Amino acid sequence: MSKSVTILGAGVIGLSTALYCARRGMKVTVIEKKPRQRDGCSFGNAGMIVPSHFIPLAAPGMVALGLKWMWNPESPFYIQPRLDADLMSWGLHFWKAATKARVEAAAPVLRDLSLLSRQCFDEIGLDSGLVKKGLLMLCKKQQTLDEEAHIAARAHQLGIPAEVLDAKQTAALDPAVTMDVCGSVYFPKDCHLSPGRFIAALEAELERLDVELLWETEVRGFEVESGTLKAVQTSRGQVEGQEVVLCSGVWSAEMAKELDLKLPMQAGKGYSLTLANPKQLPELCSICTEARLAVTPMEGALRVGGTMEMAGTDESITLRRVRGITRAFPDYFPAFSESDFAEVNPWSGLRPVSPDGMPYIGRTQRWKNLTVATGHAMMGLSLAPATGRIVADVLSGETSPVALNLMSPDRFA
């Protein structure tokens, strides 16, 4: 008899997990509180698959940089000051994790996870529109390019190809667009796609595999017995399963509290704007390094996204954060102006951010049949297939292809 699995959350992590579990012959039910036509952080993101991003968010210098940026309402990073015990605890964990030793330990794990995901995108066989042309880290200043060159050297040590380019070489690599930069670092293994197209392909494949997708269904509690989650109580009644997977994005932390687990997490609000008919369309995706902007061509459109705003789970649009994006983008792409975005409706999404920059993946000691897969921050789409495969391995009793100790959901217990 096939194993039954209940997955909490239908974001890209939940759907990827459902895909791998269903292809292993498991009976899968996915519970999602939002309607199918949702627009969470799995949809409006930059659509990048980035083995280049092997340095966790909690890195040396980030605390000082974050404090500096906090005073600029249009900066790439902002924490809304508030008396919140969870936020203060998260900040303390972040400060403790932002060390060179921690980054050195985390980098190979993030590399392995990213390269596995890059492989999985090829193997799953879905119509995702994956574009394999690489990514450019665009730099306005020579100092920034020098810093990125050091990261490129570390990438080489980790087996991730990277090439430092001057302005002329950068322009030659993507001649369809005008760039005002002093140079870039090119990561040929990086890719991009349209998140909406990928999600649609996932949902269609899950329906073909007879996965039960319960939309607009709220989790209201759990039936427990002897260290086991016997059933999930929902607004549609009780859902039973031999295994439960928690991957509800930013809402995973509150569910974890109900289960007596500690998953420190903050919602990192990100924004994006999509130009349907851009003046120019690059062939490669890119990061505007100083401004922390992500730029992605998407099937004829151009998406520009950025910022990390920590203001709780408030999903409203903060216009001054959006202005930071629209003002910074033309500095790198001078054919555009801020007015090009005047009629574009900004999108926002809440990204689940752990304090040490590592996702939570794996079983927890507290419950015999609970597996956690959340906390991927800006890397949710990029790491989704690898996460799904690893969870399916765990549920099948197989060894994970990536070491899970630094991603243990019990590491802050």
pLDDT tens for each residue of 220-235: 999 999 999 999 999 9
Q: What are phi and psi of 38, to 5 degrees?
A: -100, 175
The SS3 call for residue 49 is strand
Q: Which CATH class is domain 52-112+130-191+265-353?
A: alpha beta
Closest CA to 412 of 363, 360, 368, 367: 360
Separation of alpha carbons 361 and 353, rounded Å:
13
Measured in degrees and rounded to the nearest 5, phi and psi for residue 94 equal: -60, -45
> In 210-300, at which residue ranges do the beta strands (DSSP E only) sit?
212-214, 219-225, 228-234, 237-240, 243-246, 266-275, 285-288, 293-298
| Average pLDDT over the chain, rounded to an integer | 94
Q: Annotate 207-228 with three-state secondary structure.
A: HHCCCEEECCCCEEEEEEECCE
| Intervals of CATH 3.30.9.10 along the chain | 52-112+130-191+265-353
| Cβ atoms 337, 330 nearer than 8 A | yes
**H and E: helices and strands count for the chain:** 10, 20
How many degrees, rounded to 5, is the angle at CA 147 between CA 146 and CA 149?
A: 65
164 - beta bridge partners? Answer: 185
Q: Do residues 364 and 227 touch, judged by C-beta distance below 8 A?
A: no
∠ CA 309-134-284, rounded to 5° = 75
123 vs 119: CA distance, rounded Å: 6
Task: Please state the φ and ψ torsions of residue 214, each to the nearest 5 degrees.
Answer: -100, 95
What homologous superfamily does CATH list for 4-42+197-263+357-407? FAD/NAD(P)-binding domain (3.50.50.60)
User: CATH 3.50.50.60 spans which residues of the chain?
Assistant: 4-42+197-263+357-407
Q: Which regions of the chain are under pLDDT 50? A: none
C-alpha to C-alpha distances, 265 to 290, 293, 355, 388, nearest whole angstrom? 26, 23, 7, 20
Give the residue from 175, 164, 160, 163 showing the smallest Cα distance to 142: 164
Give the three-class secondary structure for 78: strand
Q: What pLDDT does residue 141 have?
A: 97
Q: State residue 303's pLDDT score.
A: 97
Q: Which residues of 103-126 are buried (b: 16+ CB within 10 A; e: fewer)?
A: beebbbbbbbbbbbbbebbeebeb
Please report how the helices 12-23 and 380-395 are oriented relative to each other, as an axis angle in degrees rounded to 10: 40
Stated as kind and residue range, the H or E segment containing 204 is helix 195-208
- Give the H or E element holding residue 373: strand 370-374
Burial level of 280, CB count in 10 A (0-12/13-18/19+)?
middle
Instruction: Say how far apart CA 47 and CA 128 lie, in whole Å.
Output: 11
Please name the residue that has the structure tokens 């909690």. Answer: 58
